[in-house]
Amino acid sequence: MTQGIEVTRDGAVMAAAFNRPEKKNAITSAMYETLIEVFDKAGRDPEVGALVLSGKGGVFTAGNDIGDFLAAATGASGPRGIGDAPAWRFISRLADFEKPLIAAVDGLAVGVGTTLCFHCDLVFASPDARFHMPFVNLGLVPEAGASLLAPLRFGRARASEFLLLAEPFGAETARELGLVNALMPESTLLAHAMSKAAALAAKPRSALLTTRRLLRGDPAPLKARMEEEIELFAAALASGEARAAFMAFMSGARA
Q: List the CATH number of the domain containing 9.
A: 3.90.226.10
- Least confident residue range of 130-134, 145-149, 176-180, 235-239: 235-239
Angle 92-97-100 from CA coordinates, rounded to 5°: 140
Domain count for the chain, please give it: 1
Band (pLDDT 50/70/90 cuts) for residue 66 is confident
In a domain, 71, yes or no: yes
In a domain, 18, yes or no: yes
Q: Name which of 105, 232, 249, 113 is nearest 175 in CA terms.
A: 105
**Is the pLDDT confidence value at 105 over 90?**
yes
Say how far apart CA 53 and CA 81 lie, in whole Å.
28
In a domain, 211, yes or no: no
* Average pLDDT taken over every residue of the chain: 92
Per-residue pLDDT reduced to its tens digit, 92-102? 999 999 999 99
**Residue ranges making up the domain that contains 105:** 5-187+218-254
Percent of the chain with pLDDT over 70: 91
> Which H/E stretch holds residue 55?
strand 50-55
In a domain, 199, yes or no: no
Mean pLDDT of 19-44: 96
Instruction: Please report the pLDDT score of residue 250 as a whole number.
Output: 65
In a domain, 206, yes or no: no
pTM of the model: 0.93
CB-CB contact of 18 with 55 (8 Å): yes
Angle 205-215-61 from CA coordinates, rounded to 5°: 85
Say how far apart CA 66 and CA 163 lie, in whole Å.
19
In a domain, 201, yes or no: no
Residue 155 zone, left/alpha/beta (φ > 0; ψ -120 to 50; rest) = left
In a domain, 135, yes or no: yes
Say how many C-beta atoms besides its own lie within 10 A of residue 95's C-beta. Answer: 15
**Could you give the dihedral angle defined by the CA atoms of residues 231, 149, 20 and 12, in that order, rounded to the nearest 10 degrees?**
-120
Return all residues near 167 (Cβ < 8 A) that are at least 6 apart: 161
Band (pLDDT 50/70/90 cuts) for residue 237 is confident
Say how far apart CA 203 and CA 226 lie, in whole Å.
31
Mean pLDDT of 221-250: 87
In a domain, 208, yes or no: no
Distance, first Cα to last Cα, the chain: 31
CB-CB contact of 22 with 36 (8 Å): no
**Is the pLDDT confidence value at 194 over 90?**
yes
CB-CB contact of 133 with 153 (8 Å): no
